[in-house]
Amino acid sequence: MISVLQLCQQHHRNDEHRSGCGRGLKSVSISRGESGTLIPQLALSDVTHTSASATVAAVTSETVYRHDDDTGTITTQDDYNWAAGSYQPTASTVSYPAINSSHNGSASVLRESALYDSEGRTSMSTSPFCGVATIRL
């Protein structure tokens, strides 16, 4: 088994919220032997956000492949709200894929959300799994 990691280091200037290639891991594939066909395992998408002189890249989706023929994908979406004039997010939401009833799921998309203080620390979070909001003082 050979693993192939695709890294991306393309830079964008003055492109706030530009989707595409930030920095870091973009995908993971494996192959059976050196000349085997690449079998995707994971794909990541991101968005870059620029404020003042800092640019950050945040993951916006993670796709996992359940089968070796590019089918059976499961995608988790991440959304962010950014503080004005800052590279810090003020809030984030993670949307988990729906699990159908044949796999003992609710067939609903579950969302987990968080609010952040001015230092980037989580000040409140909600869990879709137990329905509880956690507030950190």
Residues in the chain: 137
Instruction: Answer yes or no: is pLDDT of 7 > 80.
Output: no
Residues 22, 46 contacting (CB under 8 angstroms)? yes
Confidence label for 2 from pLDDT (cuts 50, 70 and 90) = low
Single pTM value for the model? 0.74
Q: Which of 1-15, 16-30, 75-89 has the highest mean pLDDT?
A: 75-89
Residue 40: other Cβ atoms inside 10 A: 19
State the pLDDT at residue 12: 40
Range of the domain at 112: 2-135
Instruction: Answer yes or no: is pLDDT of 30 > 90.
Output: no
Nearest to residue 83, comparing CAs of 74, 75, 91, 71? 91
Q: Please state the domain count of the chain.
A: 1
State the pLDDT at residue 118: 87
